[in-house]
Structure 1
Amino acid sequence: MIQISGPATFWLTALLLLIIIFGRYVLFSLTFWWLFKVSMKTQFAHRAVQTRPRKPGQDWREIGWSLLTSLIFTAIAMGMILAYQAGYTKIYTNLRDYPLAWFPISIILVLFIHETYYYWLHRWMHRPAVYKWVHKTHHDSITTSPWTAFSFHPIESTLQAIIIPALTFVVPLHISAVGIILLIMTLSSAVNHLNTEIYPRNFDHHWLGRWLIGATHHSLHHTQFRFNYGLYFTFWDKWMKTESPDFHKLFGEKTKKMMNDE
């Protein structure tokens, strides 16, 4: 991990992190947007979950909010780096410090805790007194796109950003495990907001697919508001009976065999 030894190193590190965080968002969002909205538009046209046109200028508004989100993520990441240097976190760099089996277990554990935190945070953000101040910015994108992935109000961005750094104080994580978790987070968010169902037919009933959130599942949250609060996985929605009753029917409609559907 980068060692910060003075103001110059601090600001250079912050700039580098901002480029990585915002650049990762742009790379994933642009790739998915181009792949499914431009390159393979004809093949995937029938898989568009919502057909309502996006608002004029919505892409640029989402990119603007996402840049602000990236700045907040950068500030919190800088705090985590300083805490690591001071010896407060449990981040480690030598794989031999813990049994190798702990590496995948730690990733799964953090994803489970993150999912749990986000599900209940998300439900709280939908309380009427909270929603208009914290979560409405994200829901201005009723018809989503990959650019929606990081489009949050600064309060929501902060609430979303603190959980993984906080976990580094209590859960031993290899530095590469942290990177993998952040990569999964960005990839999942881009897929979920794609508004194009990329999973195969009947994947919603597959032993793995039934637990993963995709574009259909999350798009229903943006249109129905009171269902499908999960981040990566569906298990809290299933356990708390907040999964949309329309999900399986809509997923089947969007993934049914058509001439250009492979």
Structure 2
Amino acid sequence: MASVPGILTEWPWKPLGSLKYVILAPWIIHSTWLFVANDAKERDVSYFLLLGVVLWRIIHNQIWISLSRYRTAKGNGRILDRGLEFEQVDRENNWDDQILFNALLFYTGSRHLPGAQKLPLWRAHGVLLSIVLHAGPVEFLYYWFHRALHHHYLYSRYHSHHHSSIVTQPITSVIHPFAEHVVYSALFFIPILGTMLTRTLSVVSFTAYITYIDFMNNMGHCNFELIPNWLFSLFPPLKYFMYTPSYHSLHHTQFRTNYSLFMPIYDYIYETMDKSSDALYETSLKREEETPDVLHLTHLTTPESIYHLPLGFASLASRPHTSKWYLWLMWPVTLWSMILTWIYGRTFVVERQRFDNLRLQTWAIPKYNLQYYLQWQNEAINSLIEEAIIQAEEKGVKVLCLGLLNQGEELNRYGGLYVHRHPHLKIRVVDGSSLAVAITLNTIPKGTTQVLLRGNLTKVAYAVAFALCQKGIQVATLHHDEYLKLAKSLSGMESGLLLAKSYAHEVWLVGDGLSEEEQLRAPKGTLFVPFSQFPPKKIA
């Protein structure tokens, strides 16, 4: 939100929330009906294909989002080291509003503007005219409109909303108040209207121009440099006609330079180019992959978990272990991702964090929960984990923490297998059990005198039981064999153990192996404290 929001700041369909796409329904139904009802000669294929353009724009933007987050997590070519704030992620979650707005304009124009019906697939003159109109009027008018937006009156009411994001990501490019998008759409429609009026508009020129706008917008805000130096060496004048991500990044850090849209020529003409543009470009290109101090090695959980990663959908990444109805419609993408992980089969970077001078990264093994319970998959999984440890060792990582099922006792003895195989490792391989024990203990309410331990007895379970007995809290179990195992492990502290005869305990420590039947036998108001990687599913 701008510091002093002006009129037409909010999108008209904001009250609809996630149902906003319903405003396209009449157009989609109408275009589909005409395509099906009319014969081949009367069909307006270009009108029907507008839905494809809308879907392509959404997919194109999402590709850039995932690519940018992956590359900035790795670190090579990264421009700014700062991470994204949660507030920015939430603020930029409505990036599809501009696609929705443009779609309404596309559908309306396709039905009511002359020269917009029954477009041919290709017209060379229309492509050339689009290039000329963009390089001339669009770039020139945008430059001066952008400079006007930086006047304190317009900046405080509108453009400051966009500049709230110092560290940019691709979709930052379209995070503007509604009023700004009205002007931007008018500018970007100049080539489309020009080719329409001259009867040279085609499906290719229209789609290519819209894709060009999205591509350049996303690239300019991706926060990693990807334009190779040889391109400018081969054709030096190109620097006047194509900006780079580092070039536009300076506009978000310096504010009063590099105003151009995609072609820096007007910054050169009007002397508003930042003098450090070339230096930042060279520095960003030379930046190598970041070496973290601490590495968390996790894995995929379900086929749909790819969407919950930070590389996927931000709205889902904040709600793990939840499913949405539209994910069922994406089963072809889900299937393709499963095939890709099976073929590619390599550990990949998921995200990075930074706490002062401590650098952290999360890597993921391309294996799913189900595969960890298949004995014949153990060798393949251990091989991937071992490769990741060796790679981290070569990078100079100090600590590697095995996450989720990567630390299984039967799989690798909580990571001890790799330390035994490579006794000279400098990297410290940990399983996070100490942290899990501390979290579990701190979750138990103060004043508790007795807890019921349910679930499989793991390293964490034994450690929690030991710590509770030391604190004078009695640990109860329902099965005699579990009682004997605990008594053997906690030799000399048997007084802290109890073989219970009922489920009547106010606090339960629960892990893998807890059945739904046992949950239903818990008294009303029982507090469940999980100590496993995956908490038991809540039942009604």
Question: What's the % identity of the aligned pairs?
Answer: 20
Which stretches in structure 1 are left out of the alignment for 5+ residues?
A: 1-6
Determine if the alignment matches structure 1 residue 190 to structure 2 residue 222.
no
Unaligned residue ranges in structure 2 (runs of 5+): 1-23, 33-47, 291-540
| SS at 1:226 equivalent | coil
Q: How does 1:35-46 map to 2 (within 5 A)?
A: 35-38=67-70, 41-42=73-74, 45-46=75-76
- SS of 1:230's equivalent in the other structure is coil
Match of 1:93 in 2: 119
Residues 110 and 116 in structure 2, CA contact (< 8 A), matched pair in contact too: no
* Residue 108, structure 1, aligned to residue 108, structure 2: no
Which residue matches 1:217? 247
Count of aligned positions = 244
- Distance, in Å, in 1 between the alignment partners of 2:56 and 2:161 is 21
Superposed CA deviations along residues 42-71 of structure 1, whole A, max 9, x for unmatched, are 3xx14211112222142232121x233223
Q: How big is the alpha-carbon RMSD for the aligned residues of Structure 1 and Structure 2?
A: 3.1
Paired residues for 1:148-227 under 5 Å: 148-171=172-195, 172=198, 173-176=200-203, 177-201=205-229, 203=231, 206-207=235-236, 209-210=238-239, 211-227=241-257
Give the aligned residue type for 1:155. A
Q: For the residues of structure 1 that align with 2:102 and 2:159, how far apart are their CA atoms?
A: 17
Give 1:199's aligned amino acid: I
User: Which digits, 9 at most, give the CA deviation of each residue in 1:157-212, with x for residues without a partner?
Assistant: 11101123355444434222121111100011111010100011365564254131
Q: 2:110 aligns with which of 81, 85, 107?
A: 81
How big is the shift at 1:225?
A: 0.7
Matches within 5 A, 1:29-40: 29-38=61-70
- Tell me, yes or no, if structure 1 residue 128 matches structure 2 residue 171: no
State the secondary structure of the residue aligned to 1:47: coil
When you count strand as a share of all residues, which structure comes out higher? 2
CA contact (8 A) 2:77 2:287 kept: no
SS in 2 for 1:10: helix
Among 97, 100, 112, the alignment partner of 1:71 is 100
Residues 30, 90 of structure 1: CA spacing in aligned structure 2 closer, same or farther, 3 A cutoff?
Answer: closer
Provide closer, same or farther for how the CA distance between residues 240 and 70 of structure 1 changes in structure 2, counting only shifts above 3 A: same
In the alignment, the residues of structure 1 paired with residue 253 and residue 56 of structure 2 have an alpha-carbon distance, to the nearest angstrom, of 27
Paired residue secondary structure (2:132) = helix
**Cross-structure match for 1:60:** 90
TM-score using structure 1 length: 0.79
Higher helix share: 1
Q: Distance in 1 between matches of 2:90 and 2:289?
A: 34
How much does 1:13 deviate?
A: 5.7
Describe the shift of the 1:39–1:236 C-alpha distance in structure 2 as closer, same or farther (beyond 3 A). closer
Distance in 1 (CA, whole Å) between partners of 2:73 and 2:29 is 40
CA distance in 1, matches of 2:124, 2:57: 30
Q: Which has the larger radius of gyration?
A: 2
In structure 2, relative to structure 1, the CA distance for the partners of 1:165 and 1:59 (3 Å cut) is same
From the superposition, tell whether residues 39 and 245 of structure 1 become closer, same or farther in structure 2 (CA, over 3 Å). Answer: closer
